[in-house]
Structures are given as structure tokens and as C-alpha cells.
């Protein structure tokens, strides 16, 4: 079974790689590039695979192709998951902003209608800690904000749990189920 954990380091996944500069003919380069494209590999993986095949190593072709395919799918799925979460957060934030604006405008409208000459003074909340009414209002605001945050966290935790888990989407051979 493949270990596709994202917690292990690059060296543990691929082994130590070394940069080499080689010189090959244009024809050789083109043949390797075509073979790499046919196999779905990058050029370096293709050169390594072909070299290992030439030395008689049977799994030379399968390991780079499997690794390349697996990594591509992991990156693709994690990107889509992240984009989905960002979209949810953006929609939720905009919705909450619109609702808060709407409620605030309704409250201002109601107060303006009830006392048109003094509604601005009536709407003001003092920051004086000695003002008991203003202190109760600020405390209520803090409690509502804490409850709203807790509800949002619980909702998003449920949504995250409902997303497909990456490690459950691969069978033992590392291919899609």
C-alpha cells in the first residue's frame, strides 16, 4: 500500500535526487520527449526510467509514472478542496454582511421614525464603563458575536467533515476507486 501522507518529507517520498547536466543529440532529446509524453512523465523521470530499463530494472517505468500520477491527483484534489472552502467562506461572509446591513438600516429607520429629532443620540452607545445601560448593550453584543462565531464554526466543521477525505479516495494500487 502506498503512503500518500502529506506529512512525510520530499526525501522520504522520492529519495534523494541529484541535479545532473547532460548533453544529448536533438534526435535523442526528441525521442525521449515523445516517450515521456506517451508515458505521462516529465523529461527527467523519462530519462531515469529509460536508464533503469537499460540496466534491467523491471519497475523502472511503473514507479515514476505512478508517483507522477499520484502527486498530480493529490495536488488537484487538495486545490479543489481549498477552493471550495474559500468559496464557502466568501459566500458566508457576504451573506452575513448583507444581513447585518439590512438589520442595521431597519433599526435606524425604526428609531428615526419613533423620534426624528433625537434618533442619532438615541442610537449612540457610550464607551463609558460606568454607564450601566451601555455596558449591558456591549455585553449583549459580545454574547451575540460569540454565539454567532460558535454556530459558524460548528456549521463549517460539519461541512469540512462532509468533504471527501483524500486518503479514502485511493485503493491499495494508488488508483481511483
Separation of first and last alpha carbons in the chain: 14
Q: Report pLDDT digits (tens) over 64-113.
A: 655 666 677 677 777 877 888 888 888 888 888 889 889 989 988 998 99
pTM for this structure?
Answer: 0.39
Q: Report pLDDT digits (tens) over 5-56.
A: 444 454 554 566 677 888 999 999 999 999 888 877 778 877 877 887 777 7
Residue 64, pLDDT score: 63
Cell of 112: 428615526
- Of the CA atoms within 13 Å of residue 71, those in its CB half-sphere come to 12
Phi, psi of 170 (to 5 degrees): -120, 140
Enumerate the β-bridge partners of residue 176.
170
The domain limits of the chain are 10-169
Is pLDDT of 143 > 70? yes
Cell of 59: 519497475
Burial class (CB within 10 angstroms; exposed 0-12, middle 13-18, buried 19+) of 58: exposed
Amino acid at each position: 500500500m502506498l503512503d500518500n501522507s502529506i506529512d512525510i518529507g520530499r526525501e522520504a517520498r522520492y529519495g534523494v535526487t541529484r541535479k545532473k547536466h547532460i548533453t544529448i543529440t536533438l534526435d535523442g532529446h526528441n525521442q525521449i520527449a515523445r516517450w515521456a509524453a506517451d508515458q505521462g512523465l516529465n523529461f527527467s523521470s523519462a530519462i531515469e526510467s529509460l536508464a533503469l530499463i537499460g540496466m534491467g530494472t523491471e519497475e523502472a517505468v511503473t514507479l515514476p509514472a505512478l508517483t507522477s500520477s499520484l502527486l498530480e491527483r493529490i495536488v488537484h484534489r487538495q486545490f479543489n478542496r481549498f477552493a471550495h472552502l474559500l468559496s464557502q467562506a466568501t459566500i458566508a461572509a457576504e451573506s452575513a454582511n448583507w444581513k447585518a446591513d439590512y438589520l442595521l438600516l431597519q433599526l435606524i429607520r425604526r428609531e428615526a421614525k419613533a423620534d426624528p429629532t433625537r434618533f442619532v443620540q438615541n442610537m449612540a452607545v457610550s464607551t463609558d464603563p460606568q454607564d450601566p445601560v451601555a455596558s449591558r448593550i456591549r455585553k449583549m453584543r459580545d454574547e451575540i458575536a460569540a454565539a454567532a462565531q460558535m454556530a459558524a464554526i460548528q456549521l463549517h466543521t460539519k461541512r469540512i467533515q462532509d468533504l471527501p477525505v483524500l486518503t479514502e479516495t485511493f485503493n491499495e494500487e494508488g488508483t481511483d476507486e
